[in-house]
Amino acid sequence: MTTATRNGTADAALSDQTWARLATVSTATVSTQLMARGLRSAFMVGPQRLNPDQPRMVGEAFTLRCIPAREDIDVLSVYSDYDHPQRRAIEQAPPGSVLVVDARGKTRAASLGHILATRFKKRGGAGIVTDGAVRDAEGFEQLDLPTFAAGSSPTTNLAQHHAVDLQVPIGCGEVAVYPGDVVIGDRDGVVCIPRHLAEEVARDAAEQERLEDFVLSRIEEGRSLRGTYPPDSETRAEYEAQRG
């Protein structure tokens, strides 16, 4: 994983242990941990998984910002420009990163298509998130790359989106995303963890899930919710004893 830059300051690389924890914890658990820290707007509204057979997604955010297209600028000849910001995002995002696209929640036209996504996969990308649409939906269903979008559209991005910036703070699905933030996606959707909280959220989320697995096992045995969920001091003592 790469380090990111925010306000001119390089973020420290996350530890291997943190990435290992983030690779297993659910977006539901992460959302709870973020809420415990006062963050209630971490879940991206709109983007849904396009290829449910793919594994969960986790990686550092590489951001792409779009503004509304303009007819005299966003013409089909733009496709010949290899240095177009959309193309540069695909070619510059580091391996292991998640491409996060600010499409302003607009789905009339696609924000990217299957060919660009395939190139991103070949470069080692960890996933794609857009609060807009994608085109070539059938191709995405078969693509070996976790992808989350708010819909599909056969219309090219140039009809609605003008890509302008890379690696700047963006909004995606009503969530603020900064370059280098940690993005996690699973069947529930996509959650963004502020970079400076990633280590502690990963640690506490892993512990929360261990405790919840224990609680679930007791519920499956037939115990009532009272005293079990949420666990009271007696149930927690049982949990600690089992952990040894």
Using the predicted structure, report yes or no on whether residue 55 has a pLDDT greater than 90. no
The DSSP line for the chain is: ----EETTEEPPPPPHHHHHHHTTS-HHHHHHHHHHTT----BPSS-EES-TTSPPEEEEEEEEEEEE--TTTS-GGGGG-TTSHHHHHHHHSPTTEEEEEE-TT--SSEEE-HHHHHHHHHTT--EEEESSEES-HHHHHH-SS-EEESEE-SS-GGGTEEEEEESS-EEETTEEE-TT-EEEEETTEEEEE-GGGHHHHHHHHHHHHHHHHHHHHHHHTT--STTTTTT-HHHHHHHHHHH-
The full length of the chain comes to: 244
Q: How does pLDDT run across 71-111, given as a tens digit for each residue?
A: 999 999 988 888 999 999 999 999 999 999 999 999 999 99
CATH classification code of 40-193 = 3.50.30.40
Rg, Å, the chain Cα set:
20
Q: Is residue 191 within 8 Å of 148, Cβ to Cβ?
A: no
Q: How does pLDDT run across 145-191, given as a tens digit for each residue?
A: 999 999 999 999 999 999 999 999 999 999 999 999 999 999 999 99
Phi-psi region of 219 (alpha: psi -120 to 50; beta: other; left: phi over 0): alpha
Spatial distance between the Cα atoms of 116 and 49, rounded to a whole number of angstroms = 18
Question: What pLDDT score does 8 carry?
Answer: 44
CATH 3.50.30.40 domain extents, the chain? 40-193
